[in-house]
Chain A
Amino acid sequence: MNSKITLLLMIATIVAVIAPLNANAASMPDTPKGTINLNGAGATFPFPLIDLWRVDYNAAYPNVNLNYQSIGSGGGIKQHIEKTVNFAASDAPMTTSEAGLAPGTLHIPETIGAVTIVYNIPEVPAGGLKLTGQIISDIYQGRITNWQDPAIKNINPGVNLPDKGINVVHRSDGSGTTFVFTDYLSKADPNGWGKKIGFGKSVPWPIGLAGKGNEGVAAIVKSTKYSVGYVELAYAFQTKMSYTSVQNADKTAFLEPSIEGASQAAAGIVDKLPAADGDWSKVSIVNAPGPKSYPIASFSYLLVYNDLGKVTKNMEEAKAVIHMINWMVTKGQESSSGLLYAPIPSQVVSLDQKGLQMVKYNGQVIWTGDSADSMSSPATSSSPTSGSKIPDWIRNNAKWWAEGSISDDDYIKGLQYLVQQGILKI
């Protein structure tokens, strides 16, 4: 008798406090239920970030485990094509021929990377060198071979440039960093670099020494005087290498590499982006317009099928994929700058969410989002509205508990979750 009254009281409490959750329910996917293991594979560049997300997300939703294998973008796309992972990650958009092998792929930009030009000139202090895209292109083609070249001198007045040959260093391995860098050179010098060499994850370099990985390039640059190379922004910052300022696309200023500059580059180009299911193969945010847009930046993408029935076992798993990716592009962005990844601008977040709302499971809609309100992250709640319905998982929880199929502990855990999230107020 006593317990029945408690039950009624509890349900009454839940009904009373459910409203805020529901107001948000329109803008966030269903919370995953049951134990779910998700698999992702792909790019190494966003791995530290995705790994942090894995831990944070698992702390918030302990029933969902993510296993992300950073096997490289090429490997990720291969697994995506073979449908062996729930999602893949790639530093470059899929090429037209790759997209042909994986029809129905959505591109979800999840973070932004930037590339810095690093140098080792004992005479020039850190941050003292400016370069333009044209000059970098000429250096990497062997057309500018001396640090005292008039082109470099003209934009660096007062800098003590040595009369020394330039040692050019590039990556030996295929990499997203090379993709961004050569994409930039192709856009900044379309008639020279663009026509002669083009862009890709590995290109036929006309000159230069090659190092494997960021650490390989950094090792050569650090140990070779009068050298220039390119590494990922986070790597350059963490190892405190000297980097150059690069001229923006508007040609109005020289910008030091920064995560803000990389985010600005994405914001500067956002109205030209296709929908998630569109053709992304030509998308690039290098040389983006805007006075503060750092010109050597690029999106890193999550690749998701628009019908998750191909890669997930059931609706719950599909829901978890959508919920987790939505969490990554909203709440997860808060932790990106701590790891020196540029957060994606809010317009791109809403583009991503529109993409996630296109995803179906065997034809069934997974998340009917209300995109007008979709910017709010899952953790923030809005004001209560009346006449709301109880979300399914609370209904089920209460039902299962009443039927005795879940223990008191499990039910209490659900209630505690509501308390923690500030939905249930005591």
Chain B
Amino acid sequence: MANANLAIKKRRILSDKAFKIGATLAGSYVLVVVALMAFQLITQSAPIWEEEGLSFITKTDWNAVEGRESFGALPYILGTLATSAIAMAIGVPLSIAIAMFISDAPPKIGGPLGFLVELLAAIPSIIYGLWGLLVFRIYFKDWIETPLHNMFGDNVWLFSGNPFGLDIITASVVLAIMIIPTVSAVSREIMKAVPQQQREAAYMLGATKWEMFKLAVFPYSKTGLIGASILGLGRAVGETMAVTMLIGNATGIGAIPSSLFAPSQTMSSIIANEFVEASPASLHMPALIGIALILLLIAVVINVIAHVLVTKMLKIKEGAINN
């Protein structure tokens, strides 16, 4: 009897140890990968920082011709921010509206609809890109861009330039579709986390459906919704293939976003475009890796903000349940 207990105890110590080692390894693996990645990006991009210094971030040149090399990352940082901002402006309200509908619809409708929205996330980005390039762009150009351009012409800078369908707005709209599954799935969960009593209380006070959301749901899920949007922003900032196929891929000063109908370039798209053929012996490669480093830093900042906001939200939720 005592022996059996001892054996069980030993086995438990052993399995505890195995668990501890396994979990530590898994945890440190993530840290090691991120640290190695940062290390590689820093060392491999060192030549461009030595050559250009911090002006690499503010310069607008982009010339990879041998003997005339000059690189600056500003247009691509701006291009990334512009496309992400427009994608957020379109995608986030749409996603939250979808989430509101699903969270309030009877499960028979809400369930399948939620599933369909999540299915959007399963479509590879190259498919979005090809669809955008071969189908969407042509209709978008003829039905939206050209009428807008004809209406406002070159008087409104936003709609100036010759609409081709390969520009900031086309890329942003497709990007908006791509962030919908992420944002709406997280938003839906957050709205569902709002206690049912809150909703019922609002209804009891005679609130309409919209007033119920305004009074009972949004105040409790505000920070969570912001967190969900920022997760979408993370996706928009890093998205590569679809954007590369739709943004027109200008380089240098021409890539600075000047109107909705102007071609531009994002940080990830210029890496996708030029990395494969960049000469490892020139500054071209370090410049592209330098952009990757900037992109990584921006992604880290975005994720930290999202994390902070979501944790804040979880605390509010606990309070709501306890009261």
Contact = CB atoms under 8 A, between A and B. Distances in A.
Contact of A74 (B66, B252, B285): B285
B281 A95 contact: yes
Given A97-B281, A200-B66, A204-B252, A224 B164 contact: yes
Residue of A71, A200, A223 contacting most chain B CB atoms (<10 Å): A200
Contacts of A211: 166, 249
Given A210-B249, A212-B244, A203 B277 contact: no
Interface in B50-68: 61-68
Contacts of B40: none
A226 B59 CA distance: 34
Interface of B is mostly: loop
A78 B280 contact: yes
A74 B263 contact: no
B273 A172 contact: yes
Interface in B35-59: none
How many of chain B's residues touch chain A, expressed as a range?
A: 35 or more
Given A200-B64, A200-B65, A209-B166, A173 B276 contact: yes
A384 interface: no
B273 A174 contact: yes
Interface string A182-208: 000000000000000111111111000
A309 interface: no
Contacts, number: 111
A100 B66 contact: no
Residue of A81, A101, A172, A204 contacting most chain B CB atoms (<10 Å): A172
A100 B282 CA distance: 11
Contacts of B101: none
Contacts of A224: 164
A81 B129 CA distance: 34
How many of chain A's residues touch chain B, expressed as a range?
A: 35 or more
B276 A75 contact: yes
B250 to A, nearest CB: 7
A12 interface: no
A176 interface: yes
Contacts of B248: 172, 209-210
Contacts of B89: none
B134 A197 contact: no
B251 A205 contact: yes
B16 interface: no
A216 interface: yes
A232 B77 CA distance: 32
B78 interface: no
15 contacts: A72-B277, A74-B277, A97-B281, A97-B282, A173-B272, A173-B273, A197-B65, A201-B277, A201-B278, A202-B277, A209-B164, A209-B263, A210-B263, A212-B249, A219-B133
Closest 10 CB pairs of A and B: A174-B277, A72-B276, A172-B249, A210-B249, A97-B281, A198-B65, A98-B281, A78-B280, A173-B273, A200-B65
